[in-house]
C-alpha cells in the first residue's frame, strides 16, 4: 500500500476508587463514559452508530482477517513521532467525552502521568502513544474497527459491553453454537492473554511495539494492549476465563486508565513546547523508523 507519510448508561470505571471526588476538572465524574441514548445530541448519536456497526461485524472470522492484514507490518514505515503527528487529523468517533484531535488527548494523558509519576519516564511515553494504533484509520479502515471499547470474541458477549443488550442482534456469531456459549471456543481459566479480543488500536499497537522491539517493561505493554478492554477491567466480565496471574495485568491497566479517562476535560497542553522531552523518550524506548 502506498506510504501516506511522506439505550445504555456508561459504566463507572474502577479507577473511581482512586478518584473518589464527585467532580473532576469541573466535570461530574458520573458524566464520563456516558453512553445514554440522545438522538438530539450529534456526538452521542455518532458514538451509538459506531458501536452498533462494530458489534454487527466483529466476528471471530473478521478479527482473524484483520490480524492477517495488519500483522504483516508491511503497510508503511514511520517513526513514532511521525505516527503521533497523524493524530492531529483524527477525532475518535466512539468517544463521548472528547471531540478534539487525538493528539491533544495523548499529551493530556502523558502530562498527567508525568506529574504523578515523575520518575517513571516509560509510563509518560505509554501515556503519549497509547492510542497511536488508530493510524489504521488512515489506511482504509473504518473507525468502528479501529476505535472504541474492546471485548472478547468467540464466546458469549460480555454483559457490560456498551449497548450490548441490543447491538449484537445482527452479528452472526450470536447464533453460532461454537461461539455463543459461556466458554465458546475457550477453556476455563485459559487466561486473558489467550483470548481473541475484538480488533482495534490496542491490539495493533501492542503488536507493533513487540514487532519493533520496544524497550518498555511488560506493565507498559499490558497497559497498551488492554486499556480499552472495559468489559473486563471495569465491568467484571470474563472472570470464568481468567487466571490468578491476570490480576497483575488488571492492576497495571487500572493504574493507567485513570489517566486515560479523567484527563479528557483538562486544558490543552502546549504541545510544541513538550515535544523535545518526549522525543528523548521515543529515542530511549522505541527509536528509529518502525514497521507498521
Annotated binding site: 33, 92-94, 105, 130-131, 134, 148-149, 201, 227-228, 260
> What separation in angstroms does the CA of 4 have from each of 18, 77, 92?
41, 9, 20
Cβ proximity of 231 and 149 under 8 Å? yes
Burial 236-256 (b: 16+ CB within 10 A, else e): ebbeebbeeebeebbebbbbb
Residue 3 is predicted with a pLDDT of 47
Annotated binding site for substrate: 33, 92-94, 134, 148-149, 227-228
> What separation in angstroms does the CA of 34 have from each of 7, 67, 158?
11, 31, 18
DSSP 73: -
Residue 280 is predicted with a pLDDT of 98
Annotated binding site for Fe cation: 105, 130-131, 201, 227, 260
CA angle 83, 201, 188 (to 5 degrees): 150
Residue 262 is predicted with a pLDDT of 55
Residue 43 is predicted with a pLDDT of 67
Residue 231 to residue 222: CA distance in whole angstroms: 16
Tens-digit pLDDT profile for the chain (292 aa)?
Answer: 444 443 322 333 333 333 333 434 443 434 344 445 555 656 678 889 999 999 999 999 999 999 999 999 999 999 999 999 988 777 655 555 455 677 888 999 999 999 999 999 999 999 999 999 999 998 989 989 999 999 999 999 999 999 999 999 999 999 999 999 999 999 999 999 999 999 999 999 999 999 999 999 999 999 999 999 999 999 999 999 999 999 999 999 999 998 987 555 556 889 999 999 999 999 999 999 999 9
Strands (E), the chain: 23-24, 27-28, 77-78, 290-291
Amino acid at each position: 500500500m502506498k506510504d501516506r507519510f511522506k439505550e445504555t448508561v456508561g459504566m463507572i470505571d474502577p479507577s473511581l476508587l482512586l478518584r473518589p471526588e464527585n467532580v473532576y476538572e469541573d466535570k461530574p465524574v458520573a458524566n464520563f463514559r456516558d453512553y445514554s441514548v440522545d438522538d438530539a445530541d450529534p456526538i452521542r448519536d455518532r458514538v451509538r452508530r459506531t458501536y452498533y456497526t462494530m458489534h454487527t461485524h466483529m466476528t471471530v472470522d473478521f478479527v482473524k482477517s484483520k490480524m492477517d492484514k495488519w500483522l504483516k507490518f508491511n503497510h508503511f514505515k514511520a517513526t513514532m513521532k511521525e505516527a503521533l503527528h497523524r493524530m492531529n487529523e483524527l477525532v475518535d468517533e466512539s468517544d463521548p467525552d472528547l471531540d478534539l484531535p487525538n493528539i491533544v488527548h495523548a499529551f493530556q494523558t502523558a502530562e498527567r502521568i508525568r506529574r504523578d509519576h515523575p520518575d517513571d519516564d516509560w509510563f509518560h511515553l505509554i501515556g503519549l502513544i497509547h492510542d497511536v494504533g488508530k493510524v489504521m484509520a488512515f489506511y482504509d479502515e473504518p473507525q468502528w474497527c479501529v476505535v472504541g471499547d474492546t471485548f472478547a470474541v468467540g464466546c458469549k458477549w460480555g454483559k457490560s459491553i456498551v449497548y450490548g443488550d441490543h447491538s449484537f442482534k445482527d452479528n452472526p456469531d450470536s447464533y453460532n453454537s461454537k461461539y455463543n456459549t459461556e466458554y465458546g471456543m475457550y477453556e476455563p481459566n485459559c487466561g486473558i492473554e489467550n483470548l481473541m479480543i475484538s480488533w482495534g488500536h490496542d491490539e495493533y499497537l501492542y503488536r507493533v511495539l513487540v514487532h519493533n522491539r520496544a524497550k518498555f517493561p511488560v506493565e507498559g505493554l499490558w497497559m497498551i494492549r488492554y486499556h480499552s478492554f472495559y468489559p473486563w477491567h471495569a465491568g467484571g466480565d470474563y472472570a470464568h476465563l481468567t487466571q490468578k496471574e491476570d490480576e497483575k495485568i488488571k492492576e497495571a491497566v487500572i493504574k493507567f486508565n485513570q489517566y486515560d479517562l479523567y484527563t479528557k476535560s483538562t486544558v490543552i497542553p502546549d504541545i510544541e513546547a513538550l515535544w523535545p522531552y518526549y522525543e528523548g523518550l521515543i529515542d530511549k524506548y522505541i527509536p528509529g523508523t518502525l514497521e507498521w
